[in-house]
Structure 1
Amino acid sequence: MIVSSKEYTIHQVSYTIRSATEQDAKNLSEVRLQVDGETENLDREKGEAYIDEEGFKNLIQEDTESPNNLFLVAEIDGKLVGFARCEGSKLKRMAHKVEFGVCVLKDYWGYGIGKTFLRECIHWADTNGIQKITLSVLETNEKAIRLYEKLGFEVEGVLKNDKKLSDGRYYHTILMGRIFK
């Protein structure tokens, strides 16, 4: 699905949140690869499950055509600095919900881009008949967990010892959901 472009300014930094287009595919591949190497909050290490330009073109096309998918990008001065997706299911029994995922380049943390992505996704879901948004978050990502709770998400479960990080220790993944009434 396509949504209207919106401008935001936080801490003297202006950015645009808009739907992804096929022209973004190459940059999205590069951003995803970089983000994967900047944080352990995501599922992948740098280079794992790599999506090339063609793969992103296919994702963007699928998300644009599907009423249950949304693919947003954040842009600052013409540079992509992050993206978020809501991915729904074609199965009737699960067509009422979407899964939210987000990544922002580390240099742009602290400008509210992730929060803006989530608010835009919540608004989109609320106005398009989506009944539930789910997400998963690493137990150590306390800032994200607080944000999700503030925006109406509740813990629905915990996957124990779900991820092994670079320190050799195992960490839990928290499953959260927000139900629209």
Structure 2
Amino acid sequence: MIGTMKIREAIPSDAEKLLNHLQKIALETGYMTMGSEGPGQTIEAKQKEIKLILESDVTVLLVALDKEEIIGIAEVHGNKSPKLKHIGDISISIAKDYWGIGLGTMMMEQLIEWANSPSSHLKRVELTVQARNERARHLYEKMGFKLEAIMPRGVKDEDDYLDVCLMSMMIGEI
């Protein structure tokens, strides 16, 4: 915890604040896959999604809070398919006012700890990040992620096509 900040699993009552956070960060940076259209989800749908995540053994959703405001979200999203259940897709988003204070490191550490827990079936976690997002790429490399591919034109931001990096980390012994 940094000052008044804490990180915990999301609960259904976080749904509205979570959607507000996603809408806010979609507007303050071009690094998200969503733009001004926002998350496009109702509070009720997000509440149901969080309930399912809490019951899941392949997905975890963390929120970082400063007092009661959600300032960051971190998720490992798994797959129920037997052939893909060993792979988790990581995403993280932090409000711009909280960049550069170590919050991303703290959230990634908790995601990796969860992925390495005995209850997790994960053997691989992966993520995509825009090549131009040097701060995030540095964090992922520091945490042990390896660059696997650069996907030309992996995302379109307004009129520009941008490269996207695929990065991964192996979990446990293979």
Inter-partner Cα distance in structure 1 for 2:67 and 2:99: 16
- The sequence identity of aligned pairs, in percent, is 27
Q: Distance in 2 between matches of 1:33 and 1:140?
A: 22
User: Is there any run of 5+ residues in structure 1 with no aligned partner, and where?
Assistant: 1-7
Please state whether the residue corresponding to 1:58 is helix, strand or coil: helix
The one of 94, 106, 110 equivalent to 2:84 is 94
How far the C-alpha of 1:164 sits from its partner, in A, is 2.3
Matched residue, 1:5: none
Q: Does 1:110 align with 2:100?
A: yes
Q: Which residue of 2 aligns with 1:26?
A: 16
Q: Secondary structure at the match of 1:92?
A: coil
SS across alignment from 2:115: helix
Q: Deviations over 1:66-99 (max 9, x none)?
A: 1010010001112111111111001001101110
Which residue matches 1:81?
71
1:108: Cα distance to partner? 1.5
CA distance in 2, matches of 1:87, 1:43: 16
3-state DSSP of counterpart to 2:109: helix
What is the CA distance between 1:14 and its match in structure 2?
3.3
Distance of 1:136 and 1:102 partners within structure 2: 10
User: 1: CA distance between counterparts of 2:90 and 2:70?
Assistant: 19
Q: Find out whether 1:133 has 2:119 as its counterpart.
A: no
Q: Secondary structure at the match of 2:83?
A: helix
Aligned-pair distance for 1:141? Answer: 0.5
Match of 1:51, SS state, is: coil
| Counterpart selection for 1:72 from 41, 48, 62 | 62
Q: Structure 1 stretches (4+) deviating beyond 2 angstroms? A: none
Matches within 5 A, 1:1-181: 8-9=1-2, 13-127=3-117, 128-166=120-158, 168-180=159-171, 181=173
Partner of 1:3: none
Question: In 2, are the aligned partners of 1:33 and 1:50 still within 8 Å (CA)?
Answer: no
Q: CA deviation at 1:49?
A: 4.2
CA distance in 1, matches of 2:23, 2:156: 20
Note the residue ranges of structure 2 that are not aligned, 5 or more in a row: none
CA RMSD of superposed structures (Å): 1.3
Aligned residues: 170
SS at match of 1:103: strand
Aligned partners of 2:54 and 2:18: how far apart in 1? Answer: 16
SS of residue in 2 equivalent to 1:93 = coil
CA contact (8 A) 1:70 1:87 kept: yes
Q: Is the 8 A contact 1:68 1:87 kept in 2?
A: yes
